[in-house]
Each structure stands twice: as C-alpha cells, then as structure tokens.
Structure 1
Amino acid sequence: MRILIITTNGITREFVSWPERVYARALVKAGHEVHAYVYLGTQSWNKEKREVIDGVKVKRLTHRQWFSLDLIKYLLRDPRPDVVHLFHHSNQFNYLATLICRLLGIPVVLSPFGMLHDPYLVDDRDRPLETPPKYDEIITTLPQLFKTLLHRFRPKRAIKNYLWHAPILQAKKVVALSEHEREVLIKLGVRPERTAVIPIAQDSDWLEGIKPAPKSHDELRIFFLGQLKYRKGFDLLAKAIPAIIQKYPQARFIFAGHSPIHRDDLLNIVDEAGMRGYIQLPTHLSEEEKAALFLSSDLYVLPTRYEGFGIPLLESMSAGCPVISTRIPVIDEIITEGVNGLLFDYDNAASLASTINHALENPFLRHKLSENGKTAVKKYFTPQIIQQLEKLYTEVCKKPGTGAESSGAVNSR
C-alpha cells in the first residue's frame, strides 16, 4: 500500500521512539510505501524540507494556523495514496487534509492521541479527570458552528473549536489508544462502528547493545521519565521522597524528561524538605542513556494525573523494570495491580510513598512484577500492532457495497 502520514513533528531523526516514527518505519519494513507530511520548523530536527528517515519520505510543510498552501499543492500533485493517516487532533493540517481527501475520495484514518488533552473539552489539562468533560461545548458540524456564532461573541474561538474537532466526525475511522478514549469519542458523536482501539507500539529490539547505567552496589534507583508538568505528577514523587528516605536512605531519584517547564518547582519542593542531595536532574537523555537507566533502575514511577496512553510504561516493562503508576483510566488498562505493576491512589503523595516503600521492602515482589511485565508488554510489540493497522487500512480502502466493510470496531484487546 501507499500510505501517507500527516502529523505535527512526530517523524524526526532525533526522536526515535515517537509513535508516528515507530509506526512508519515498521510499515516500511512490512513492505509498504510510506510518505509523511509534517510541520516545517527552525530546529535542527525539523528545518529540512525533505529527507528520508527509516525509508520514510518526509516532506516538511509551511502553514499559517489551519491553512497550508504546501499541503494543498502536495495532496493534489503527489501520487495518490491509498490511505491518509492523521495524527493528533490538534494537528493544524487535519481539517484541510480531511476536506481535500474527501473531495478526492481518499480514505482518512485519524488517531487523536489523548482526547483529554483538549482545552475545549476539559477545564484543566493538568488535571482533566477531576471534572466531567464538556461534551456540549465541542463543535463538530457546520450547523453547530453557525448556531454558536449567532449566540456568542467569540467567533475566533468557535471557528478554531470547529476546525479542531470536525475531522473527528469526518474521518472514515478514528483510532483510540484505549477503551477509555473510545468511550470519549463515542460521547463526542463518533459512531461506535467507526472507532477502533489500537494501542501504541513498542519496538522489541530497542534495548539491543545497551548496558545498565552504573550505580553503587547498595543504591535503590527510582526513575521518573516524563515532562516536568503537573499532569505527569512529578510533584507527587518529590513530596514522597522524605517518607521513602526515612526507611531507605540508600534510595536515589532520577527525574528525566525533554520538557523542564516546572524544573524550579521541583527543586523548591525537594529543597524545602532538605532532599536535594537525593535527586538527579539530567538536562538531556539520549535514547541510549534512557534505555540504560530503565535497565539499571529498581523502580519506574509514573505518578500521572492523566495519560493518553503512557509509552514509558511499555519501555519500562520491556526493560524488566517494575512499574508504579496511578490508579486511573488508561493506566489501569495497561497495568494490572499486583501482576505487572503497582497502582497508588490518585493525587496522593502519601499513597505513592507507601506503595514505593512496599515495593522496595519486597525484592520477590519486584522480581514478579519485572517478569510479568516482560510478558505483558509483548502484546504491544510492533509486529502485532502493525498487523492491526494493516487490517484497518485494508478495511477503510474497501469500496462501499462490496460486502467487505466491517460493521464492528477493530479492537486489540
């Protein structure tokens, strides 16, 4: 098949594990011709207008908000793809791409990737599970848009709301990462038969040639990998440190991630508790360094307040590093309490500290979680996920009336 991926910045040389790049290189390996349109930027990793990455032919396009002459030109001039796969529902190419593809008769698949990141749907993107989603404020159709414009005085916000959400109803299939996300899509008006649940893929060979990062013989290493945003719960782990150090003074905490937006807040928390000497804050981790830390850590902790999915959970399990995370939707679809990970109470630093201490005091439990995690993660390995994508692409490319279209949702579970 000829597959066109349209996304934001997901296919670059620098970020090997971003989902779109994982999907794209696996599809190439499976024998498909894969092209990608992505944002043109000014960074070292997104300033080249054209390059080939993992066999994927990448074009970077200019755009002004939701309009792109480059996108129109390439969709009309380039050889016609069999299917277009859009990623991220905040992707500013989505509306125009969906419109053009519908005119050309090209089937479109949309992967929103984390519906509760949506500022129109939730009051607080750092804590989206604390209040009900605002489904009645989402604009997905032109009649809804016209009605909103007639009765409200914020036309720019209403139009942006529509451009952001209309492709959810216009795409031929919408791919959720979890059952929870699928339920959100259905409440937004997507018919159940137009949904599919396909999780993010994890390469099984990403640890080849990697050795565990060195540490002292008695150190208990606790690893946090994620953006330093309150949604990721870095503050909960920081607040839990004193109760852990009281029982395990040999514990050390590594906070790593590519977005240090609240780094000063983290330092303030540990400084007030006199815990600065127990943490490390690497400013940048290569893929190899990240893998080495997973291999050397006694626990991986993701104290998140919301996840669209949770890629580091898969990375940690595949590395045999026991996982501790929050008892919330999506996470509880990946982690089974006491089997392949431990779950603690939402937004509760005391519960997190207690759960970490329980794991540290029980090496047998950690071994059990490690072994079960390595087994549980296998269903997310790239070949299995790509088979599900290929099945979905084949389904959306079938012509109506042939009797070959599926009446149910593709589901990985």
Structure 2
Amino acid sequence: MRVLIVGLGGVSRAFRNWPERTLGQALVAAGHEVTALTYWQPDQPHLGLTERAEEIDGIVVRRVKPQLWPGRETIAALESLPLPDIAHVIHPRNVLALQAVRWLRRRGVPVVWTWLGPYHDRWLVADRERPYESTIHPEWLIYTLPQLITRGLRDGRWRDHWRNYAIHRPLRDVAAFIPCSQHEAQVLRELGFTQPMSVVPLWLDMTFMDGPAPSLEATFSQPIIPYIGQLTPRKGYDVLVAAMPAIIARHPQASFVFVTHNPAQRAELQRLASELGVAANLHFLGTLSEEQKLALLRASAVLPFPSRYEGFGLPVLEGMAAGVPVVSTNIPVLNELIRDGEDGLLIPYNDAKALAEAILRVLDDQALRERLIAGGRRALRERFAPERLVMQVIEVYRSVL
C-alpha cells in the first residue's frame, strides 16, 4: 500500500516520538511505501525541519511552506509524488489540509484523519491553555461557504472567518477518523461527525526507547525530577513550581530539571521559583537531544506531568518506557493512558499540594515505585505496542479503500 502522511513537522530527525514519524516508521516496517508531506520551517532549526527533501526511517519526506492559500508548494509537491492509495492527515490545525484534501479527493484518494487533540482548536474553545475551565463553542466552527459569508457580513472579521473555514472544511471530506483517544472520538461525535471512527492510541519508537543512551552530560544532585514540555500554562509548569517547596523540605538536594523547546515563559518560571525560594533547586536546560532526554529520564526518580490539557500525552509513555514512575493529572486522555496506582499516579486538576504529595509518595515508598515501573512497562507491552497498533491503523485504511 502507498500511504501519504500529511502532518505538521512530525517527521524530523530531531524528535523520535512525534506521531507522524512513529506512524510512518511502523508502516514501513509492515511493508508499506510511505511519503510524508510536512512543514518546512528553516527559521526554527532546532525542530529539524530545514531540509526540503530527505529520507528518515524509510519515510520519503517532502517539506513545503505552511500555507492555507493558494498552497502552490503543497500542490506542486503532491503532483511530483506517486499517487497514494490513501492519505492520513494528522493534527487539528493542519494548514496543508485544505489544498491537500481537495487535491486528493479529486483523484479519488480517500483520506483518514487523526485530529490529535480537539481542544487545541482556538475556534472551538475560548481558552486553549485551560479548556476545562473554559466554554466550548461548537457553534464557532465554520464548515461551509454560506456560514463563512453569513459570519463575515455580520461582523466583518473576514480574515479570521476564512481561516476558520479553511481549517475545518477538509474535515467534512474525511472517509474515516482514527481518534487517538476515546475523548477525541466523543468530541468528534458531539460536533456532529458521523464518519466511521476507530480509536487507536499513539505509540513510541520502542527500538530507540529500549536502546542504549549516553551518559547524562549535566550533573545534578539526587533525586532528579524533570519537567519535559512547553513552558505554557497548558502544561502546568507553574503547578510543579508551586509543589517544589514541600518536596524540597523533605529532600533538600532535589534537582528540578526543566527541558523544553518552547521557553516562552522562562522569565515567569524563574520569577515563581525565586518568589517561593526554590530557585537554587531549579535547573533550566532548554532543548535537549533525544538521546540526552532519554538519559535524563533514566536518571530521574519520578516524572511529574501536571498538564491542564493534552491531546494525547506522549511524555507519559516516554516515562514508562524509561522506567520512571509518572505522576499526572486526572483529566481526559491522560486518565486513559494511566491506570491510577497500577502504572502511574493521577492527581486532581490544578492541585500543587496533591502533586507534591504524590511525588513524595514515589520518592519515599520503594515498593510503590517498583510497582509503578513494572506497571508502566506492562502497559507499553499490552496497550501501546507499535506492531499491534499499526495493524489497527492499516485495517482502517483497508476498510475505506
């Protein structure tokens, strides 16, 4: 089968576990021919999206300027590639989708879509950073030209309404959805989509995660407690900082190591740490290579993941794969990944006190720690095995061909 993946930046040498790469990698391993059409972003070299064309893990990668309209690079790339049997679009704000889906439909190529987090959509939620504290607005989404014209005549916000339409119109042409969670499937149904849906969670490059890692280049006092994610309110970095004093009171040498490729709120992070008197225990590393991130995880005592919203939550699986107990928020999707007390711990939303208590439980209870590590490894084998999950994806492909 010839498969085209239409993603954002997801097939990159810089990131091993982005979903476009792990999907393509597993499809190649299953004997299929895979091409990925993704963003070209030379202004952000740390993302590894500077080459226009390359091959990664057997995936033929073509990168184009991310543009909704007229999308000439997208169309030119599609016309230069062999016609796929099926296309798989990934991400809710994929600006390549408008032209790509139209082009593919005209040639009879069916499209499936993994939306990968409905509340990342700024037209659906009033606050993408805290969607569970916000109002959801399905009525804001624009799927048709009459809706676009009506909204534009009403308030004159033509540019914003056009982008809204361009992002959401392709969803109507999808042959099937492959939601990455039951929550995503539920939201799609609530939005009125009636296409077939088969929930298939994401997975990791387990060959890499189980392979050798170099020594950790930086030196930290134990226990090491990492934060891995963007420095945005959605990821809950402030919740972890607020939990630090209680943890440091019992473990004065604890090292809180912050790793991120989006340091947007680093100044606020440092301000909060100074205000709480824990700045000496905070270490900011910024962007790490995948190898060094794996080394950090393996050296860590516990992985806090106090997110306020996740489309999926790959760091949870990365923690499990690295043999570090995970503590995360009891919110949709994350509570599909973690079975509380078996392969991780779940805490109430936005609760720094509960986060500190859960981290201390892991640090101070060796039996609990060992049970969670074993449970995490079992979860990866039983629920997130790439070779089994990719076959579920392939079955969806076959069902719509």
Partner Cα distance (1:132, 1:175) in 2 = 25
CA distance in 2, matches of 1:382, 1:175: 15
**What letter matches 1:198 in structure 2?**
V
Amino acid corresponding to residue 376 of structure 2 in structure 1: G
Question: In structure 1, what is the equivalent of residue 2 of structure 2?
Answer: 2
Aligned partner of 1:144 among 125, 129, 147 = 147
Conserved 8 A contact 2:221-2:255: no
CA–CA distance in structure 2, aligned partners of residues 260 and 108 of structure 1: 35
Tell me how far 1:63 sits from its aligned partner: 4.9
Q: State the one-letter code of the partner of 2:302.
A: L
Q: Would you say 1:21 and 2:25 are equivalent positions?
A: no
Q: Secondary structure at the match of 2:286?
A: coil
Say whether the 8 Å CA contact 1:63–1:69 is kept in structure 2.
Answer: no
Q: Name the aligned partner's letter for residue 385 of structure 2.
A: F
Residue of structure 2 equivalent to 1:389? 393
Q: Distance in 2 between matches of 1:98 and 1:254?
A: 42
The aligned counterpart of 1:99 is 102
Out of 204, 207, 213, the position equivalent to 1:205 is 207
1:133 equivalent in alignment to 2:150: no
Distance 2:34 2:240 in 1: 41
What is the aligned partner in structure 2 of residue 403 from structure 1? none
Deviation sequence 1:345-386 (CA, Å, 0-9, x none): 111111211222222221111111111111012221221221
Q: TM-score under structure 1 normalisation?
A: 0.91
TM-score by length of 2: 0.94
Q: Structure 1 residues 355-364 or 233-242, which shifts more?
A: 355-364
Amino acid at match of 2:27: L
Change (3 A) 1:183 1:132: farther
Cα pair 2:129 2:308 within 8 Å, conserved: yes
Task: Give the counterpart letter for 2:397 in structure 1.
Answer: Y
Report matched runs for 1:245-256 at 5 Å.
245-256=248-259
Shift of 1:256: 1.0
Match of 1:303 in 2: 306
| CA distance in 2 between partners of 1:333 and 1:198 (Å) | 12
What corresponds to 2:30 in structure 1?
A: 30
Query: How is 1:254-293 mapped onto 2 (pairs within 5 angstroms)?
Result: 254-293=257-296
Residue type matched to 2:205 in 1? D
Give the length in aligned residue pairs.
396
Pair 1:365 & 2:368 matched: yes
- Aligned runs of 1:284-363 on 2, under 5 Å? 284-363=287-366
SS at match of 1:282: strand
Residues in 1 aligned to 2:98 and 2:221: alpha-carbon distance in whole angstroms: 55
Read off the aligned partner of 1:96 and give its amino acid letter: Q
User: Retained in 1: the 8 A contact 2:178–2:393?
Assistant: no
Q: Deviations over 1:68-105 (max 9, x none)?
A: 11222333453211001111121111011111222111
Q: Give the match for residue 111 of structure 1.
A: 114
Could you list the per-position Cα deviations for residues 129-186 of structure 1 after superposition, in whole angstroms to 9, with x for gaps in the alignment? 1123111111123332233234332121111111111122211112211111111111
Task: Name the residue aligned to 2:56.
Answer: 53
State the Cα distance separating 1:17 from its structure 2 match. Answer: 1.8
Query: Secondary structure at 1:36's aligned position in 2?
Result: strand
Residues 188-219 of structure 1, C-alpha deviations (whole Å, 9 max, x = no match) = 1211x522211111122223112674899982
Which of 186, 190, 195 is residue 187 of structure 1 equivalent to? 190
Distance 1:214 1:9 in 2: 27
Supply the distance in 2 between the matched residues of 1:29 and 1:263 (Cα, whole angstroms).
Answer: 40
Is residue 203–residue 381 contact of structure 1 (8 Å, CA) maintained in 2? no
Mapped partners of 1:335, 1:199: distance in 2: 13
> What is the one-letter code of the residue matched to 2:316?
L
Deviation, structure 1 residue 340: 0.9
State the distance in 1 between where 2:80 and 2:63 align.
15
In 2, the alpha carbon distance for the partners of 1:359 and 1:6 equals 40
Cα offset, 1:387, TM superposition: 0.9
The SS at the match of 1:9 is coil
Q: 1:196 aligns with which of 174, 187, 198?
A: 198
Residues 22-65 of structure 1 deviation map (CA, whole Å, 9 limit, x = unaligned): 11122112111111212223244323222112211112223544
Aligned residues of 2:16 and 2:205 also touching (Cα < 8 A): no
Distance of aligned partners of 1:76 and 1:266 in 2 relative to their CA distance in 1, 3 Å threshold: same
Cα distance in 1 for residues equivalent to 2:198 and 2:34: 21
Name 1:402's counterpart in structure 2.
none
Structure 1, unmatched stretches of 5+, are: 398-413
Aligned to 2:81: 78
Name the SS for the 1:277 alignment partner: helix
In the alignment, the residues of structure 2 paired with residue 84 and residue 304 of structure 1 have an alpha-carbon distance, to the nearest angstrom, of 31
Instruction: Report the alpha carbon displacement of residue 305 of structure 1 after superposing the two structures with TM.
Output: 0.3
How many Å separate the matches in 1 of 2:277 and 2:220? 24
Q: Take 2:52 and 2:289, find their aligned partners in 1: how far apart are those partners?
A: 24
Measured in 2, the distance between the counterparts of 1:217 and 1:96 equals 49
Secondary structure of the 1:280 match is strand
Q: Contact 2:64–2:74 (CA<8 Å) still a contact in 1?
A: yes
Do the aligned partners of 1:212 and 1:294 also contact (CA within 8 Å) in 2?
no
